[in-house]
Amino acid sequence: MSILKYLFSIVAVMTLVIILYRYEQYVVEKNFMVFSHIPCDTATQSCFQVDCDSAEDSTCDAFAYKKITLPAREASACIYEHTCDDFRCDSTSARCSITLCSEGVLESGERCTAQNSISDKENI
């Protein structure tokens, strides 16, 4: 066999190993972070909302939400389905956080529903 065939074989094996490793990390072990939105009570919390006018734009969703970040292996099905009513981070998870709205965490196209003096992070 020529050296070219050996090099091709090595590259093919390395590519297969990388694909299998990534599959195991993402699909089997769920070793990645989930960023999602969960419902927020505007009466008691400072919530995020899409910055649009629902009276003028029929596609505008005035849904009030909190942002959540947690490891995928700790995420319940309601996170993926966006059906969590009263989600709380498990006290044993240091990497789970719920972010409430404040000027420091607003992204483009968002606004706060209330300007309460609430901490911008909840670790519940």
Q: Are residues 59 and 91 in the same domain?
A: yes
Range of the domain at 11: 1-30
Q: Are residues 70 and 57 in the same domain?
A: yes
**What is the pTM (predicted TM-score) of this model?**
0.68
Q: What is the chain's pLDDT, residue by residue, as a tens digit (124 residues)?
A: 689 999 999 999 999 999 999 999 988 888 889 898 888 888 889 999 888 766 566 777 778 899 999 988 888 888 777 787 778 887 777 889 999 999 899 998 898 986 544 444 554 4
Long-range contacts, 72-78 (Cβ 8 Å, 24+): 72/30, 72/31, 72/32, 72/33, 72/34, 73/29, 73/30, 73/31, 75/30, 75/34, 75/36
Structure tokens at 33: 């972070």
Q: Are residues 1 and 25 in the same domain?
A: yes
Q: Are residues 58 and 96 in the same domain?
A: yes
- Number of structural domains (the chain) is 2
